[in-house]
């Protein structure tokens, strides 16, 4: 079920400038009014950029958290809607860049796992052993997240629900574990190559 697939906006409030001033003073009810006014409209805008309802929800939450954190400067903003659009767009693009970087890290491991399943893959037993060693070296929670994501192909939300952690933590664990596995495999391959070269030059 998507939150931002339908367009529906609440009635606008009367004085936005006064509302921003009240939020600047720490008025949580005023902040709620602002959130109710803009979150759905902002979600639709972000969804069109990221093409993911899950990511759009995350961006909206982060943007409003940033607004509340920086609430003391809200009274200085003359055009809040323009301000909101800029920070939301920038955050959405940063999220997309980060997601692309994570996928770039995972891609070599996908290729590696594909080679393991190929009938023509050489030294298949050694390849499986190397991958298993890399996974076994991970901290327990990172290992669980990695296996749920890469082997069971679960989405971030499902992994977060199973482990009672946030989706951000899932993404962080997956990124760290992927980097660790990639580093271990590269290091092991380099050591193997050095060993082969050493034996070659000894003969």
pLDDT in tens, 113-130: 544 444 444 445 555 677
DSSP secondary structure letter of residue 13: P
Give the per-residue pLDDT at 122.
45
Q: For CATH 1.10.1740.10, list the domain ranges present in the chain.
A: 16-95
Eight-class DSSP state of 151: T
Q: What is the mean pLDDT of residues 7-12?
A: 45
CATH number of 122-202: 1.10.10.10
Q: Which alpha helices (H) appear in 70-166, and where do they start and end?
A: 80-117, 124-136, 140-150, 156-163
How far CA 22 is from CA of 32, 37, 190, in Å, comes to 11, 15, 61
pLDDT at position 117? 47
High-pLDDT (> 70) share of the chain, %: 69
Q: Please state which CATH class domain 16-95 belongs to.
A: mainly alpha
Question: Would you call 110 exposed, middle or buried from its count of C-beta atoms within 10 A (0-12, 13-18, 19+)?
Answer: exposed
Q: Is the pLDDT of residue 200 over 50?
A: no
Residue span(s) of the chain under CATH 1.10.10.10 come to 122-202
| CA separation for the pair 69, 75 (Å, rounded) | 14
């Amino acid at each position: 079920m998507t939150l931002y697939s339908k367009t529906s906006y609440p009635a606008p409030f009367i004085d936005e400038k006064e509302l921003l001033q009240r939020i600047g003073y720490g008025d949580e009810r005023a902040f709620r009014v602002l959130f109710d006014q803009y979150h759905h409209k902002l979600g639709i805008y972000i969804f069109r950029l990221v093409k993911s309802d899950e990511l759009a929800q995350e961006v909206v939450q982060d943007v409003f958290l940033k607004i509340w954190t920086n609430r003391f400067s809200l009274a200085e903003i003359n055009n809040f809607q323009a301000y909101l659009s800029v920070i939301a767009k920038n955050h959405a693009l940063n999220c997309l860049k980060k997601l692309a970087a994570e996928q770039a890290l995972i891609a070599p491991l996908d290729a590696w796992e594909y080679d393991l399943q190929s009938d023509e893959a050489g030294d298949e037993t050694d390849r499986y052993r190397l991958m298993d060693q890399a996974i076994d070296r991970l901290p327990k929670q990172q290992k669980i997240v990695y296996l749920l994501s890469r082997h069971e192909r679960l989405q971030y939300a499902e992994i977060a629900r199973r482990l009672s952690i946030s989706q951000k933590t899932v993404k962080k664990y997956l990124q760290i574990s992927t980097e660790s596995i990639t580093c271990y495999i590269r290091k092991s391959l380099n050591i193997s190559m050095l060993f082969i070269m050493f034996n070659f030059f000894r003969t």
